[in-house]
Amino acid sequence: MLNLVLFGPPGAGKGTQSQKLIEKYQLVHLSTGDILRNEIANGTELGLEAKKLMDQGVLVPDEVVIGMISNKLDANKDAKGFIFDGFPRTVAQAEALDVLLKSKDTAISGMVALEVNDQELEKRLLLRGKDSGRPDDANPEIIRKRIEEYNTKTAPVANFYKSQGKYVSINGIGDIEGIFSELTKVIDSF
């Protein structure tokens, strides 16, 4: 099984590259951001709670996203592999993912991080905010809060995979096709 973690700050291109990767490698795409936005759109209790946090640019509690991922793994028993996009976002989530995958006799193959500086991230997210309808993309202060959450809570997840010898980073600035080509080179080496 090929199980990839696509890592990087908000706006690094995880969602964009995931769409291309699932097509090439026939993987199931698990984006916690998309799953949460779906819950919001369906007006579920979980969605209502998550919306309050997401609109402020802060992370949703670990137990909520871990439960969501566990359900999705169970619902895709025949998958050739998974691409985890926007998850794990804390070390606790990374530890829980290892346990979940082990119980299914599999493991993370590798993490690829997209490196993009804060100025470029802010520019991309504000641009997307013009027509995405996402409240968390519309306001520079909320965007900066998301980047701060990433730096304090999510960046340490890289060390978790480094210590397992599963971490590779690539430059996330440039044209989408060029970045995709670099990503596939790394993934083919896993």
**Enzyme catalytic residues:** 14, 89, 128, 134, 146
Quick check: 86 binds ligand B4P (CB under 6 A)? yes
Q: Least separation, in Å, of the C-beta of 178 and ligand B4P?
A: 8
User: Shortest Cβ distance from residue 155 to ligand B4P (Å)?
Assistant: 13
| Residue closer to ligand B4P (CB basis): 37 or 165 | 37
| Residue 129 within binding range of ligand B4P, rule CB under 6 A | no
Q: Does 3 bind ligand B4P (CB under 6 A)?
A: no
The reply on whether position 15 binds ligand B4P by CB under 6 A is yes
Size of the site for ligand B4P (CB under 6 A): 26
DSSP string, the chain: -EEEEEE-STTSSHHHHHHHHHHHHTPEEEEHHHHHHHHHHTT-HHHHHHHHHHHHT-PPPHHHHHHHHHHHHHHTTT-SEEEEES---SHHHHHHHHHHHHTTT----EEEEEE--HHHHHHHHHHHHHHH--HHHH-HHHHHHHHHHIIIIITTHHHHHHTTT-EEEEE--S-HHHHHHHHHHHHHT-
Nearer to ligand B4P, 62 or 76 (CB): 62
Residues that bind ligand B4P (CB under 6 A): 10-16, 32-33, 36, 53-54, 57, 59-60, 65, 86-87, 89, 93, 124, 128, 136, 146, 176, 179
